C-alpha cells in the first residue's frame, strides 16, 4: 500500500483495534449463549470481524491488540447477567 498520511494510518489502526475487539466480543458471546441458532449467528459475526481485521492487517502490515477495557468490561457485565440471560 502506498504511503498514507499519518492521520489516515491512525484511523485505520483504530479500525483494526475495533475489528479485533469485536471479534473477541462476538466469539465470547457465541460461546456462552445457550440458544444454538443465536450462538451460530454471533459466531459468524465474529468471523466477519476477524476477516475485516485481517484485511487491514495485511494492507498495513501491522498487527494491533484488542481494546482491553471494552473486553474486560464485557466479561464483568456478562458474569453479572449470567442468570438473567440464562447463559451457560
pLDDT per residue as tens digits for the range 3-18: 889 999 999 999 999 9
SS3 33: coil
pLDDT for 67-85, tens place per residue? 877 667 777 777 776 666 6
Q: Give the cell for residue 86.
A: 440464562
pLDDT for 47-70, tens place per residue? 999 999 999 999 999 999 888 776
Which whole number is the average pLDDT over 31-39? 88
What residue spans define the domains of the chain? 9-82
Long-range contacts of 21-26 (CB under 8 A, 24+ apart): 21/66, 21/67, 21/70, 21/71, 22/46, 22/49, 23/47, 23/49, 23/50, 23/53, 23/66, 24/66, 24/71, 25/70, 25/71, 25/74
What is the C-alpha to C-alpha distance for residues 63 and 61, in angstroms, rounded to an integer?
A: 7
Amino acid at each position: 500500500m502506498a504511503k498514507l498520511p499519518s492521520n489516515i494510518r491512525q484511523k485505520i489502526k483504530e479500525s483494526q483495534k475495533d475489528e479485533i475487539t469485536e471479534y473477541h466480543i462476538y466469539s465470547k458471546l457465541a460461546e456462552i449463549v445457550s440458544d444454538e441458532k443465536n450462538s451460530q449467528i454471533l459466531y459468524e459475526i465474529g468471523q466477519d470481524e476477524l476477516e475485516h481485521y485481517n484485511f487491514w492487517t495485511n494492507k498495513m502490515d501491522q498487527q494491533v491488540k484488542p481494546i482491553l477495557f471494552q473486553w474486560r468490561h464485557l466479561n464483568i457485565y456478562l458474569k453479572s447477567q449470567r442468570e438473567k440471560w440464562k447463559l451457560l
